[in-house]
Amino acid sequence: MEKLYKTINTIRPPDAVIYNTALERLAQQARPAGSLGVLEHLSARLAGIAKTIDVRLENKVIVTCAGDHGVVAEGVSLFPQEVTAQMVYNFVNGGASINVLARHAGARVKVADLGVNHDFETNLPIFHSKVRKGTSNMALGPAMSREEAVRSIEAGIGIVESLLAENPVDIVGTGDMGIGNTTPSTAIIAAMSAIAVERLTGRGTGIDDKALRNKIRVIETALEVNSPDPNDAIDVLSKVGGFEIGGLAGLVLGAAANHIPVVCDGLISTAGALIACELAPAAKSYLFASHRSVEAGHRYMHEHLDLEPLLDIKFRLGEGTGAALAMELLDAATRILADIKTFDEVAIINAQLQAGNGKG
């Protein structure tokens, strides 16, 4: 656990002086105070993280973490487990939803295998970070060992380190792929919040009422069988989580330790963020919620993290698609802060123009 503890201890708060300077500039701009809504606060937060008023999110990357789940054996998904590996290849070939939206946002997509039940070719251009070929069935016992849970988190941290070794990174988006992974994600927020599973559980891939009742039963059984400790995030992850969820938690921690903002996608990515912020509350200052999924538990995750999503457009895909769209809003927020003139700057410019006209 050395890498994990070292990373947690490295996380420091964003620059409060720059943050307050940004707020002052926003208040002095030539427009009604607060007229650009939440983008104003976003811009100040980004300035504090980047330690500059002129933030440039030029190097964007979305990491889609993939993993399989033993709980699929309980009939919690419409799709077979093999789809996870098929979608990894689709991501690599650039043909998935996240590839299209990321290109529009100017972001690179990187895929990470944390626990897919498939042997990928070693030369496939992904992060080969597999902990194991899928978790165990959490309805029968722990999804993974505590040691495996730590390994999955540290793998996510390592991915951030590898990205930085190759190129600068100005912002990280988190995404997921894993058939059945809304089930462990819902179990995580249930374990941490003590909210009734029935209120938290959504339809995932589009299951019918009968399958939804079964999914609720499976999650309740997993919580009863495993008794995850809500005060121990690693215990929660190991008992009812997923390898890709651990990887997503590691991405948040690794980015925060390197002063990089993280824009979080849907239910599964936010489950990873929950684990990360329980381990390191300081990481939340680097976290941005991209959107609110139609999955019932997502709202409660946001409430637990005290985060407001930027979008609510009925997404429920994952992959990092919401993060890609949110990056465009965050880009706009940076320009609002740096480029809109203050009343004093407008007066100076007008005076210069008048002086120039007078000379003519």
Say which DSSP state 67 is in. Answer: E
Average pLDDT over residues 144-163: 98
pLDDT at 356: 77
- Check pLDDT > 90 for residue 349: no
pLDDT at 340: 97
pLDDT at 358: 54
pLDDT tens for each residue of 181-208: 999 999 999 999 999 999 999 998 889 9
- Residue 311: is it exposed, middle or buried by C-beta count within 10 angstroms (0-12/13-18/19+)? middle
Identify each DSSP E strand in the chain by its residue range: 60-67, 107-115, 127-128, 171-177, 262-264, 287-289
Supply 249's token pair. 């938690």
pLDDT tens for each residue of 220-236: 999 999 999 999 999 99
User: In this prediction, what percent of the chain has a pLDDT beyond 70?
Assistant: 99
Q: How confident is the model at residue 347 (pLDDT cuts 50, 70, 90)?
A: confident
Please, what is the average pLDDT of the chain? 96
pLDDT at 346: 85
pLDDT tens for each residue of 11-26: 999 999 999 999 999 9
Average pLDDT over residues 30-44: 96
CA distance 229 to 185: 15
Supply 342's token pair. 């203050």
The fold of the 2-54+337-355 domain, in CATH, is 1.10.1610
Q: Which residues are marked as active site?
A: 319
CA distance 98 to 225: 36
Say which DSSP state 140 is in. Answer: T
The fold of the 60-329 domain, in CATH, is Rossmann fold (3.40.50)
- Check pLDDT > 50 for residue 360: no
pLDDT tens for each residue of 72-124: 999 999 999 999 999 999 999 999 999 999 999 999 999 999 999 999 999 99
Q: How many CA atoms lie within 13 A of 283 on its CB side?
A: 29
pLDDT at 199: 97
- Residue 183: is it exposed, middle or buried by C-beta count within 10 angstroms (0-12/13-18/19+)? buried
Separation in Å, CA 50 to CA 58, 99, 336: 12, 26, 15
Say which DSSP state 342 is in. Answer: B
pLDDT tens for each residue of 306-342: 999 999 999 999 999 999 999 999 999 999 999 999 9
Q: Where in the chain is the domain with CATH 3.40.50.10210?
A: 60-329
Supply 325's token pair. 């769209």
Among 4-13, 133-142, 271-280, 351-360, the minimum mean pLDDT is found in 351-360
Q: Where in the chain is the domain with CATH 1.10.1610.10?
A: 2-54+337-355
Q: Is the dihedral of CA 28, 34, 39, 45 positive or negative?
A: positive
Separation in Å, CA 317 to CA 151, 182, 232, 268, 292: 26, 11, 29, 10, 11
Sole residue written with tokens 């969820």:
245
- Check pLDDT > 90 for residue 352: no
* Predicted structure pTM score: 0.96
Average pLDDT over residues 41-57: 98
Rg, the chain, Cα only: 22
List alpha helices for 61-177, DSSP H: 82-92, 97-105, 146-166
Task: Give per-residue burial for 122-147: e unless 16+ CB within 10 Å, then b.
Answer: eeeebbebbbbebbbbbbeebbbeee
- Check pLDDT > 90 for residue 169: yes
